[in-house]
Amino acid sequence: MNTAIAGVLTAIGFGNGFRSIFIFSQCIGLTINFFSLIAVPLYKKAERTSVQLGIIIASIVAGGIVGTMLGALGNGIDPFVFLREHSTLFFQVVLLALLFGFIVSYVFISVQLISEEKLRRLEAEKATMQTELKMLQSQVEPHFLFNTLANVLSLIETDRARASRMLESFTSFLRSSLLTARQESVPLSQEMDLVRNYLAVFDVRMGDRLKYRIELPDHLRDFRVPPLLVQPLVENAIKHGLEPLAEGGEIVILASQEGALVRISVADNGLGIVEQASGTSIGLENIRKRLELIYGDSARLIIEENEPKGLRVKIEIPS
């Protein structure tokens, strides 16, 4: 900016050549900048706009005058002799310094205010997004909680051993889900442990009607994912795919990596995509919205038929 100002003044024929004006311009511009930096703490402490404006004006005026005197020294002229013998030129230089100082300061202050406003808006959007994510993560299926407790109470009268196993599995699930839900991201191994505890509860409830398999490669155990991402898919598979069937079925949970994508799939051999569509829409929409908030267009939720029957839901997220 200082060099550009020197070029403009030289082009309109002001002063004694580019070299002299360049020295004046650099001295004035850098001095105004120096005084402005010194004034920043005072500016931030001031609460009234009029006081802030006064601080800005004072820093520019002080920088303009001191910078002009330094510019005279830089050109080999005694500043006091310059003021006494060339007072008109001196004040012209000071006025130009103030003019350009105010223009440049206005531009930079405007840019800073715009940047701060943009940052505040981004922080507000981030806070809103985090609140929404917390709300989505906390939507635990209440029927699962109530049904499990009801099952425990009924089993106490008929099968205390099964009641004890279900209560232990249920307690482990609640402990791990509460711990997981408080974090922004968790290792995939922790998410799978939560799923395993969830399935253990249904293992007691459904007995031989439920079979499940979880495959997690070692190199993906520490890969971080949003919390409670896989469990709702497993919940949908059991509730809408396997539980309605008298014979039950199997759930297979697989994690794999293909290039820059990590894929997590939950497949069941239950009722199938048509029969499950109405029941799974809310849970899947929850997952889809969370993926969109966190990853944008980089993540996908894919729903497809499983072979020979059932439903497969796949999540693809960037690695």
Lowest mean pLDDT among 2-6, 59-63, 97-101, 216-220: 97-101
3-state secondary structure the chain: CHHHHHHHHHHCCCCCCHHHHHHHHHHHHHHHHHHHHHHHHHHHHCCCHHHHHHHHHHHHHHHHHHHHHHHHHHCCCCHHHHHHHCHHHHHHHHHHHHHHHHHHHHHHHHHHHHHHHHHHHHHHHHHHHHHHHHHHHCCCCHHHHHHHHHHHHHHHHHCHHHHHHHHHHHHHHHHHHHHHHCCCCEEHHHHHHHHHHHHHHHHHHHHHHEEEEEECCHHHCCCEECCCCCHHHHHHHHHHHHCCCCCCEEEEEEEEEECCEEEEEEEECCCCHHHHHHHHHHHHHHHHHHHHHHHHHHCEEEEEECCCCCEEEEEEEEC
Residues 77-100: what's their mean pLDDT?
A: 76
- In this prediction, residue 282 carries a pLDDT of 62
- Which position has the higher pLDDT, 23 or 120? 23
- In this prediction, residue 142 carries a pLDDT of 57
Which among 58-67, 87-96, 127-136 has the top mean pLDDT?
Answer: 58-67
Domains of the chain: 2-135 (no CATH), 138-318 (3.30.565.10)
The model's pLDDT over 64-86, given as tens digits with 9 standing for 90+, comes to 888 888 888 888 888 787 777 77
Lowest mean pLDDT among 15-19, 161-165, 181-185: 181-185
- Which position has the higher pLDDT, 300 or 51? 300
- In this prediction, residue 215 carries a pLDDT of 94
- In this prediction, residue 150 carries a pLDDT of 78
The mean pLDDT of the chain is: 81
Residues 7-24: what's their mean pLDDT?
A: 82
- Which position has the higher pLDDT, 247 or 181? 247
- In this prediction, residue 252 carries a pLDDT of 95
- In this prediction, residue 268 carries a pLDDT of 92
- In this prediction, residue 224 carries a pLDDT of 92
Work out the pLDDT band at 262, boundaries 50, 70, 90.
Answer: very high
Residues 295-314: what's their mean pLDDT?
A: 88
Residues 197-209: what's their mean pLDDT?
A: 86
Work out the pLDDT band at 267, boundaries 50, 70, 90.
Answer: very high
